[in-house]
Amino acid sequence: MEGWPDFRLAAANLTIGRGGQALASGLSFVLERGQALLVTGPNGAGKSTLLRTLAGLLSAIEGRISVTGTGLESGTPAGLCAHYLGHADGLKGALTVQENLQFWAAMLGGRGPQPDIAGALACVGLSHVADFPAGYLSAGQKRRIALARLLVAERPLWLLDEPATALDAASQDRLAAMMQTHRARGGVIIAATHAPLGLEDARELRLSERAGALA
Crossing angle (nearest 10°) for helices 97-108 and 139-152:
40
CA–CA distance, 189 with 179 (Å, rounded to integer): 8
Q: Which is nearer to other proteins, 103 or 132 (CB)?
A: 103
The smaller minimum CB distance to other proteins, of residues 102 and 180, is found at 102
Site for other proteins, rule CB under 8 A: 18-19, 52, 55-59, 79-80, 82-84, 86-92, 94-95, 99, 102-104, 106-108, 110
Question: In the 8-state DSSP scheme, what is residue 71?
Answer: T
CB of 122 to other proteins, least distance (A): 22
- Nearest distance from residue 110's CB to other proteins, in Å? 6
Shortest reach from residue 106's CB to other proteins, in Å? 4
Dihedral sign from CA coordinates of 68, 73, 79, 81: negative
Residue closer to other proteins (CB basis): 95 or 176: 95
CA neighbor of 80 nearest in space, from 92, 68, 88, 90: 68
> Nearest distance from residue 88's CB to other proteins, in Å?
3
Alpha carbon distance 41, 206 (integer Å): 5
Cβ distance to other proteins smaller for residue 25 or 96: 96
